[in-house]
Each structure stands twice: as structure tokens, then as C-alpha cells.
Amino acid sequence: MNIDLKNQNLSTREQVYNILKDQILSLKLPPGTNISEKEISVQFNVSRTPVRESFLKLSQEGLLSIYPQRGTFVSLIDLNLVEEARFMREHLEKAVIRLACQEFSEELIIDLDMNLSMQKICVKKKDYKKMFELDEEFHRTIFKRCKKEKTWLVIQQMNVHFNRSRMLRLVTDYNWDNIFSQHIDIFKAIQDQDANKAEKIMEEHLKIALVDKELLKKEYPNYFK
């Protein structure tokens, strides 16, 4: 299977990186898969250098495991890391939502209001793919307006393992109506600058994304550490 790179704005390295990351996160390259610099460079019709540099970056993110002179493998999903990502996200989201209530900003209200009106449409149309993006956007906006954008990025990076395990379940299983109404409640709490209430709703809100780790491990034993 040959893949043509075409985007002239991005370097070869960045394009290869993006494609590989996407394939790993979407499980097209399942955990444990053996890949080599040579193999990928032939597939993409580029030299080994940009491929190798992509490999290094992905290994730093914990998505590839490189064993010198032996081989490179797609990392197994580490359930401890999944738990740590959940832990980090919970506590940082709670802290940021308090901040959002305390340092009330009109821009945040406007951004969230727009986002929520689009969410409303998506819920009605049952457009769950778009709804998934709006959900992410909703949370990112809060971090961004509280000047905690890098914090959000760090959480996202920790979340790569979690996202892979979440791919094993159907996204459409979510109760989007419930999620939407919680977003509304968070929005109202910010407007009322009620930090305690906001934090409490957020805590409940994040519990929805929990996955049954032991169940997954039983179903896909080869994918986990």
C-alpha cells in the first residue's frame, strides 16, 4: 500500500508523523504491531530520515516503543497511564472551572454560548461525530480563556492512551443528551459565578467518560500491558 504525501506546507517529517499518529490512535495500527523505518519509508516513498524522526517523536509520546537493533512496536495500552490521565484531568478541570467562576470573563461566556447553540443542533440531528468535537472544544475553551492552554495540551497528551482504549468502545454509546444538559449546567454555574456548584457538576460530568478497564482487558488481552 503506497501513500502519497502532498501537503507542501508541512515538512515530510510532520506529514509522516500525523499519519502514523492517526493510524495508531484509530487502532489501524493495533498495539503491539511491529513496524520498521524501512517499511514505512517505502510505503510513503520517502527516505528513512523523516520517518525515523517521526518515530522518535511518537516514542516520546509513549505511542511507540523503540528497542535499538531489535525493532519498533506500537506501544501496548498502559492502564496505569489511563488512570493517571483521568486523575490529572479531573483535578485540573475542577481547578480551572473554579478559576473560570472567580475570574468571570465575558469572552468566555460568548464562546461557550456559541458552542452550546451548536451542540443543541447536533444533539437534535444526532450528529455524534460533530458533537464529539464540540465537546472537546467546550472544555478547551474554558482552559483557553483562563490562560491555561498549555495545561490542556498536557492533558490531551496524557490522554492518548485513554483515547485508544475508548476507541474499543462505540462512541455512540454515550448519552449525549445527558452530556449536553450538563454542559448547560456548567455554563449557568459560570454565569452565576458559583464555583462550588460548577466544580461539583464537572466532577459528575467527567465520570461519564469512564471505561470499564478490566472488561476491556479481558476482551482485548493482547492490546494491554
Partner DNA sequence: TCTAATGTACTTGTATGGTAGTATGTTAGA
Partner DNA sequence: TCTAACATACTACCATACAAGTACATTAGA
- 2 binds DNA per the rule CB under 7 A: no
Which candidate, 202, 211, 204, 210, places its Cα nearest to that of 139? 202
- 92 or 184: CB nearest a copy of itself: 92
Amino acid at 21: K
From the list DNA, a copy of itself, none, pick the one residue 47 interacts with, judged by a Cβ distance below 5 to 8 Å according to partner type.
DNA
- 140 or 148: CB nearest a copy of itself: 148
From the list DNA, a copy of itself, none, pick the one residue 60 interacts with, judged by a Cβ distance below 5 to 8 Å according to partner type.
a copy of itself
Interface residues toward a copy of itself, by CB under 8 A: 11, 53, 56-57, 60, 68, 80-81, 83-84, 87-88, 91-92, 94-95, 147-148, 150-151, 154, 158
How many alpha carbons lie under 13 Å from residue 68 in its C-beta half-sphere?
A: 0
- 57 or 213: CB nearest a copy of itself: 57
Residue 68 CB, shortest distance to a copy of itself, in Å, is: 7
> Interaction with DNA in 62-121: which residues (CB under 7 A)?
66-72
CB 73 within 8 Å of CB 65? yes
Strands 34-35 and 64-67: what pairing?
unpaired
Residue 13 CB, shortest distance to a copy of itself, in Å, is: 9
Q: What counts of helices (H) and strands (E) characterise the chain?
A: 10, 3
- 13 or 169: CB nearest a copy of itself: 13
How far apart (Å, rounded) are the C-alpha atoms in residues 143 and 151? Answer: 8
Amino acid at 161: H
Q: What is the DSSP letter of 5?
A: -
Show Cβ contacts of residue 75 under 8 Å, excluding neighbours closer than 6 positions: 31, 62, 63, 64, 65
Identified binder of DNA from the candidate list 3, 7, 11, 225, rule CB under 7 A: 11
The piece of 32-40, 102-110, 145-153, 200-208 that touches DNA (CB under 7 A) is 32-40
- Phi, psi for residue 19 in degrees, rounded to 5: -65, -45
- 57 binds DNA per the rule CB under 7 A: no
Which candidate, 8, 16, 9, places its Cα nearest to that of 53? 16
- Phi, psi for residue 163 in degrees, rounded to 5: -65, -35
From the list DNA, a copy of itself, none, pick the one residue 31 interacts with, judged by a Cβ distance below 5 to 8 Å according to partner type.
none
The residues that touch DNA, with contacts defined as CB under 7 A, are 11-13, 35-39, 46-50, 52-53, 55, 66-72
